[in-house]
A and B are shown apart, each in its own frame.
Chain A
Amino acid sequence: MTGSFQAEILKLRKRPATWVLLGVTLALELLFGYVLPYSSWATSDQNFQTQGLDPQAVLAGTLPAELVPTSLGGFPVFAGALALILGALATGSEYGWGTMQTALTQRPTRLAVYAGKLAALAAAILAVVLAVFAVNAATAGLIATLESRPLDYPSLATLAEGVGSGWLIMGMWCGLGAVLGFAFRGVALPVGLGVVWVLGVENLVSAVADSLLTGLRPLRDLLPGVNAGSLVWSLAPGGGASGEPPPGVIDAVSGGRAGIALATYVLGFAVVGALLVRRRDVA
């Protein structure tokens, strides 16, 4: 499996799409986590994101103490969608280019090739999460310095909990993309379906369950995005110091239950992917 992992890492590292997705993730995290809130504070000009909020709370959300909730705020939705695209690209492209055949005719078993790919994706997602936290930490530090506020970063334990939660959320979305890539043996359909699910279906079901059909709540509480949002909520109830949770961050289930649900999804996606890779012919 080591060789497969090294091969997958080389492919991911040299693939331009990987860096584009990382760049977009960092840019969106910065935009919604820091640039828009801070520009609202600095100009005393409210935008769609800060409408009706206490300006001090808006600034507080950009300071080092709020690094974890601010960083995780985008994970259940847009960063998750980008992770899903990475997963779908990593697996679906192998069928589009026919390179699955190349990988499977070397030495490792099918499951070893598959495990190497999963491990490489897990490593890549961890790197993305760490990069988000690092860039956000630097930005929060810069804002604190500009505003003469203390550099009160969270404790290492809190940071580790935040990184772990982020890794679980992003890993789950990436796993969904990967399994869709294996299932449909391509890229376009998995990306399309996955993004529609993350950005559309989850929000619609949540909205309907909250207002029109409350009987749908037990079903809503099983959705991957709802559990991702609940995990983030559990780390910063009510949206943390900013007082306004980002889209997709909701109080639906407890943090513990959400963590277990996400881990179950990750495991389930891994098992389904393994079955698909192991059993199907490669044409």
Chain B
Amino acid sequence: MGEQLVETDDLSKTYGAVRAVDRVSLSVWRGEVYGFLGPNGAGKTTTLRMLAGLVRPTGGTATVHGDQPGSPRALARTGVLIEAPRFYPYLSGRDNLRVVARYAGVPDRRVEAALDTVDLAGRGGDRYAGYSLGMKQRLGVAAALLKDPELLILDEPTNGLDPAGMRDMRALLRDLGERGHTVLLSSHLLGEVQQLCDRVGVISGGRLLTETTVDDLLGQAGLLVRAEPAAEALACLERLVGAGNVASADGAFRLRTGPEQAGRVSRALADAGVTLTELRPLERTLEEVFLEMTGDGRTGR
């Protein structure tokens, strides 16, 4: 698959008696957009903080770009935005990025490019304290991009954005992925992750439940059928795909079969004298899978 930019092995963090992150082993490969999913309090942010070198693990190991998290070599190639953006309220957005540029050792000319990228060039001279939540979030992304990093670690980057801002952020992240940046993205917006990510890791109660591709996680596709009369339709469908592969819910039938069987289903129902009112491919959403895996989506860490 190429080079691993992030690798953790049994990574753990304990606060007193609370095990916030419990033996998490994940890997992020160069060029992929990796979604890190989990309910609130699942351990996502703590894991990302460890990868950024802000929090020291109490167990296990982690490497970023092959180096220890938080080392200058790892940080030089990593852009980080964890939780809310953190800037100096008395400085303008532009001056805040200048401060970050000095820390990062990048020239000031990158500041304007970064402001342009997140559509803040026109408001760069305004005080950060006066920014809206969405503008603050965009400035946070601009700061993360300032180093033109190979790896971006973004924790809930669409927090606080309005729908247009979320759409723009998704486009930006998609663009970054297409340009070869590696993105480790934590989010609880599952639709966003489904649209953007190549692979996902699902964490709950501090434990990584699975790490796989989005396609694998969503599993086998199916067909949704609505037809009248229902009894004849059910009998016909059970004969066609087997009783174990038909489930009825809300006046519709869910068939566990591939979408290529749609024509066969349509013909069989017509031959049985059943009126077909709806026939479409059925896919599980990431939200459904996520809720199945994590219970009701809440966790008591």
| A-to-B contact residues, CB < 8 Å | 3-4, 6-7, 10-11, 14-16, 97-110, 112-113, 281-283
Q: Identify the 10 closest CB pairs spanning chains A and B, nearest first.
A: A98-B86, A106-B103, A7-B102, A105-B80, A106-B104, A282-B54, A6-B102, A281-B55, A3-B105, A102-B86
Q: What's the nearest-Cβ distance from chain B to residue A14, in Å?
A: 6
How would residues 18 to 37 of chain B score, 1 for a CB under 8 Å from any chain A CB and 0 otherwise? Answer: 00000000000000000000
B80 / chain A contacts, CB cutoff of 8 Å: 105
Please state if A7 and B54 are interface contacts (CB–CB under 8 Å).
Answer: no
Residue of A whose beta carbon sits closest to that of B102: A7
Q: Which of B83-132 contact A (CB under 8 A)?
A: 84, 86-91, 95, 98-100, 102-105
Contact in complex: B54, A3 (CB < 8 Å): no
Q: Is the CB of A97 within 8 A of B49?
A: no
- Does A113 lie within 8 Å of B56, measured CB to CB? no
Contact of A99 among B49, B55, B82, B86 (CB under 8 A): B86
A14 touching B95 in the complex, CB below 8 Å, given contacts A105-B53, A281-B56, A283-B55: yes
Chain B residues whose C-beta falls within 8 Å of the C-beta of A98 in the assembled complex:
84, 86
Indicate whether B176 reaches chain A with its CB closer than 8 angstroms: no
CB-CB under 8 A for A102 and B143, given A3-B104, A97-B89: yes
Name B52's closest neighbour in chain A (CB-CB).
A105
Q: A3-B102, A7-B103, A10-B99 are in contact. List 4 more A-B contacts (CB 8 A).
A: A105-B52, A105-B75, A106-B75, A107-B105
For residue B60, CB closer than 8 A to chain A, the reply is no
Given contacts A105-B52, A281-B54, contact A10 B102 (CB under 8 A): yes
A204-B156 Cα distance, complex, nearest whole Å: 53
Q: Does B219 contact A (CB under 8 A)?
A: no
Chain A residues with Cβ under 8 A from B82's Cβ? 101, 105
Cβ of B76 under 8 Å from chain A? yes
B105:A104 contact, CB within 8 angstroms:
no
A105-B98 in contact (CB<8A): no
Report whether B49 and A283 are in contact in the complex, using a CB–CB cutoff of 8 Å. Answer: yes
Closest partner residue, chain A, to B140 (CB atom): A102
Determine whether B70 belongs to the interface, using a CB cutoff of 8 Å to chain A.
Answer: yes
Do A10 and B105 touch (CB < 8 A)?
no
A7 CA / B143 CA spacing, docked (Å): 14
Binding site for A on B (CB under 8 A): 49, 52-56, 70-72, 75-76, 78, 80, 82, 84, 86-91, 95, 98-100, 102-105, 143, 147
Most interface-central of B70, B78, B88, B91 (chain A CB within 10 A): B88
Provide the bound-state CA to CA distance between A16 and B90, in Å.
Answer: 8
State the Cβ distance, A121 to closest chain B Cβ, in Å: 16
Interface of A, secondary structure class, is: helix
Please report the C-alpha to C-alpha distance between residue A108 and residue B72 in the assembled complex, in whole angstroms.
Answer: 5
5 contacts between A and B (CB under 8 A): A6-B102, A16-B90, A101-B54, A101-B86, A106-B147
Q: Which of B76, B100, B103, B105 contacts A113 (CB 8 A)?
A: B103
Q: Is the CB of A107 within 8 A of B102?
A: no
A186 CA to B103 CA, complexed, in Å: 22
Contact partners of A283 in chain B: CB under 8 A: 49, 54-55
Instruction: Please give the distance in Å from B42's CB to the nearest CB on chain A.
Output: 17
B72 lies within 8 A of A107 (CB):
yes
Q: Which residues of A contact B75 (CB under 8 A)?
A: 105-107
Q: Are A108 and B103 in contact (CB under 8 A)?
A: yes
Taking CB atoms, residues of chain A closer than 8 Å to B91 are 11, 14
**Minimum distance in angstroms from A120 CB to a CB of chain B:** 11
Distance to closest chain B CB from A93 (angstroms): 8
Q: Which residues of A contact B49 (CB under 8 A)?
A: 281-283
Min CB–CB distance A95 → chain B (angstroms): 10
B90 partner, pick from A15, A104, A113, A281, beta carbons under 8 A: A15
A11 in contact with B103 given A109-B72, A283-B55 (CB within 8 Å) = no
Chain B, residue nearest A10 (CB): B99
Q: A98-B84, A281-B54, A281-B56 are in contact. Are A103 and B90 (CB under 8 A)?
A: no
B100 near A106 (CB under 8 angstroms)?
yes
Known A14-B95, A282-B55, A283-B55: A103·B103 in contact at CB below 8 Å: yes
What is the distance, in angstroms, from A278's C-beta to the closest C-beta of chain B?
Answer: 10
Contacts of A110 in B (CB 8 A): 70
Report A-chain residues with C-beta under 8 Å of the C-beta of B104.
3, 106-107
